[in-house]
Structure 1
Amino acid sequence: MKNEEVLDEYSRRILAELQRDARQSLQQLAGAVGLSVTPCWKRLKAMEESGVIRNYTVWVDRERVGLSNCVLAEINLTRHSETVVDEFEAAVRRCPAIVECYRTTGQADYLLKVLTPDIRAYDAFLHDVIFRLPGVTGIRSSIVLCEVKSGAPLPIGA
């Protein structure tokens, strides 16, 4: 099913409502978006099958689980050959402390979001992991002082 077909007004309402609370029952969801249960369920299933809805997750307070240090690390690679890029990205995917990774334009080749318990743990992470990643030639780290906005729902225009 094409996204244009899936994302009509009701589907956008469903997505907005699920981003607000993914734990609500199908009956609650249907009521909130103005549909009966069966059409709501069909739209939900269509969006799951088409990949619009990829997963249902829980937002965990990182500080309450001991990950109070958040660092944004800009990474530069030695070369941009397919081998170097593939090896670097595969290594990043295997590293649980790297929770987000973006290939970027501008001064840095990649932007990583890294979570550690404290600055000492990040220092160890730099030496034990980042400096050993394939192709890394430079890194600039910015310590996050305060998360002003994170985990916001996607602006899907419901």
Structure 2
Amino acid sequence: MKEVLGLDELDIKLLELLQMNSRVTISELSKQLVLSRPSVSERLQRLQERGIIEEFTARVSLPAVGLDILLFIQVSELKRTPHEFEEIMKNENAVIECHRVTGTTNYVLKAAVSNMSSMSLLIDRLIPYGSLTTSIVLSSPIPYRVIQPEKGNAAAENVKS
């Protein structure tokens, strides 16, 4: 059986099933993977211990909770240290992701707000920290994708005997 980064095909399938429905039962996983419940539980525990599964969570519909406008905000010409900026962003509830990136942009923020007025207030709060370029998401043709290890990477693959 082929392994990718220490994950065999059953581990990869288990990760896929959990990402599609993190509330799936061990019994259902056992049926779908054709493994005993103890084997599924052991694999699940091992994936958590290795840090491959970071946490279990729910995906929440932004429009369903009144956050109808999704934004990507690029911050460049940062006027604070990266550490200071990141600490400030941790307290900015509208920011749902913050990524430090390479290139002329220092950070890319993903934010969600309820309306244009809220968006304007968010931008006003961010202006003191750098130059902003804001994009409003019109549609998301791929809103979420199941994460799997990259296949075909010769350096990452090992054939297990």
TM-score (norm: length of structure 2): 0.84
The match for 2:104 is: 107
Matched, 1:145 2:142: no
The match for 1:38 is: 38
RMSD of the TM alignment (CA)? 1.9
Verify the 8 A CA contact 1:74 1:141 in the aligned structure 2.
Answer: yes
Runs of 4+ in 1 over 6 A off after TM superposition: none
CA distance in 2, matches of 1:157, 1:138: 35
CA distance in 2, matches of 1:153, 1:141: 27
Verify the 8 A CA contact 1:72 1:113 in the aligned structure 2.
Answer: yes
CA distance in 2, matches of 1:143, 1:115: 10
Aligned residue pair count:
148
Q: Work out which of the residue numbers 110, 116, 119 in structure 2 matches 1:119.
A: 116
TM-aligned CA deviation for residue 157 of structure 1: 6.5
DSSP-derived class of the 1:57 partner: coil
Verify the 8 A CA contact 1:99 1:113 in the aligned structure 2.
Answer: yes
TM-aligned CA deviation for residue 72 of structure 1: 0.6
CA distance in 1, matches of 2:111, 2:34: 41
TM-score (norm: length of structure 1): 0.85
Identity of counterpart residues, as a percentage?
24
1:61-72 correspondence runs (5 A) = 61-72=61-72
The structure-2 alpha-carbon separation of the partners of 1:78 and 1:13, relative to structure 1 and needing over 3 Å to count, comes to: closer
CA distance in 2, matches of 1:66, 1:21: 24
Q: Which sections of structure 1, spanning at least 5 residues, go unmatched?
A: none
**Greater helix proportion:** 1
Q: Report the residue type matching 1:119 in the other structure.
A: M
CA distance in 2, matches of 1:126, 1:145: 18
DSSP-derived class of the 1:88 partner: helix
CA distance in 1, matches of 2:89, 2:9: 38
CA distance in 2, matches of 1:108, 1:4: 32
